[in-house]
Amino acid sequence: MASIIKVEHLSYVYNPGMPNAVTALDDVSFEVEEGDFVGIIGATGSGKSTLITHMNGLNKPTRGKIIIDGRDLWAEPEKIRDFRFLTGLVFQYPEYQLFEETCYKDIAFGPKNMGLDEAEVDKRVHEAAEFVGLDEALLERSPFELSGGQKRRVAVAGVMAMKPRILVLDEPAAGLDPEGRDEILSEVKDYHKKTGTTVLLVSHSMEDIAKYADKVLVMSQKKIAMYDTVERVFARAPELLELGLSVPQVTKIFLKLREMGVDVPADVYTIPYAVKMILAAKARRDAGETLVLPRNKEQKGGAAGC
């Protein structure tokens, strides 16, 4: 499948040429295939938030290129607005961006700016509201009357209504309770599956990345430390811990079991698969066997149990 995002030797410096200049990204290169769901993790200050603001032209590279759908983002600066509709960006605490009188108008704001007719705008508003689980009865209410989770849904729906081919989310579940967090991220995953939209998700939660992403990009010291499938990245859990990052709790448990000499794999990151591996290890022990377990091929199917 063709790459929809290609980042080539991207570097970004805040306040270049000034005494307080700070390098936020240093020679970053990677590609994302269309339809991928990529989780982006990294310690505070690693560069992950700066990276995603380059995806729709909010920041311009100091050096290097951002190529979206085969086009250099900054080849023609006067056309940068086109990429704002191609790549939808949901900031952390997006409800602070709400400003219209009603939820309907807030969700409709992007599609209207795209020049769509009223019928198409109306269709997109209702489709986006459905995707994020927002009751239609709330569309005519002021967003400022809603709960925190409902406001978050309105803000995310406003980006989805533009039907971007790339959806970029910076900690979209930050500040929500566990139930609200699971609901928002499950809705994003459902949207990804149904539309084939490419998704980049920044999160501090390793459990969230393990549960929803297909690939993981690890940022460290303004560079890419790892970029691979979820299975392969979490199989390198000791390296992640050395970078100051966490790993899913279940992964930590399996690392400890391996240290104790138990024959279990290192790349376990979901609870259902963990249960299966423990039962398999017990069966082997009871049978007096010392077989090596196969690499994990099943964790995504059981991720909902995390």
Neighbours of 295 (CB within 10 A): 10
pLDDT of residue 300: 62
pLDDT of residue 291: 47
Residue 62 belongs to some domain of the structure: no
User: Can you tell me the mean pLDDT for 261-265?
Assistant: 81
Question: How distant, in Å, are the alpha carbons of 19, 40, 166, 216, 229 from that of 32?
Answer: 35, 12, 10, 11, 12
User: Can you tell me the mean pLDDT for 299-305?
Assistant: 51
pLDDT at residue 142 tops 70: yes
Q: Which ranges constitute the DSSP H helices of the chain? A: 48-52, 80-86, 103-113, 118-131, 148-160, 178-195, 206-212, 230-234, 237-242, 249-259, 271-287
pLDDT of residue 258: 85
Residue 165 belongs to some domain of the structure: no
Chain position carrying tokens 């609200």: 180
Residue 258 belongs to some domain of the structure: yes
Q: Is 225 helix (H, G, I), strand (E, B) or coil?
A: strand
Q: List the domain range (segments joined by +) for residue 259.
A: 249-289
Residue 271 belongs to some domain of the structure: yes
DSSP 116-147: --HHHHHHHHHHHHHHTT--GGGTTS-GGGS-
Structure tokens, 153: 């849904």
User: Can you tell me the mean pLDDT for 140-151?
Assistant: 92
Those residues with Cβ within 8 angstroms of residue 44's Cβ, 6 or more apart along the chain or in another chain:
none
Q: What percent of the chain has pLDDT over 70?
A: 94
Residue 116 belongs to some domain of the structure: no
pLDDT of residue 251: 87
Instruction: List the strands of the sheet with 22-33, edge to edge.
Output: 22-33, 3-14, 63-68, 71-72
41-55 CB burial, b ≥16 within 10 A, e <16: bbbeebbbbbbbbbb
CA 306 to CA 291: how far, in whole Å? 27
Neighbours of 283 (CB within 10 A): 11
Report residue 28's pLDDT band, with 50, 70 and 90 as the boundaries: very high
Q: Rounding to the nearest 10 degrees, give the CA dihedral for residues 135, 92, 206, 44.
A: -170
Residue 295 belongs to some domain of the structure: no
| Total domains present in the chain | 1
Tens-place pLDDT, residues 157-180: 999 999 999 999 999 988 888 888
Residue 267 belongs to some domain of the structure: yes
Residue 264 belongs to some domain of the structure: yes
Tens-place pLDDT, residues 96-129: 889 999 999 999 999 999 999 999 999 999 999 9
96-107 CB burial, b ≥16 within 10 A, e <16: eebebebbbbbb
CA 300 to CA 265: how far, in whole Å? 16
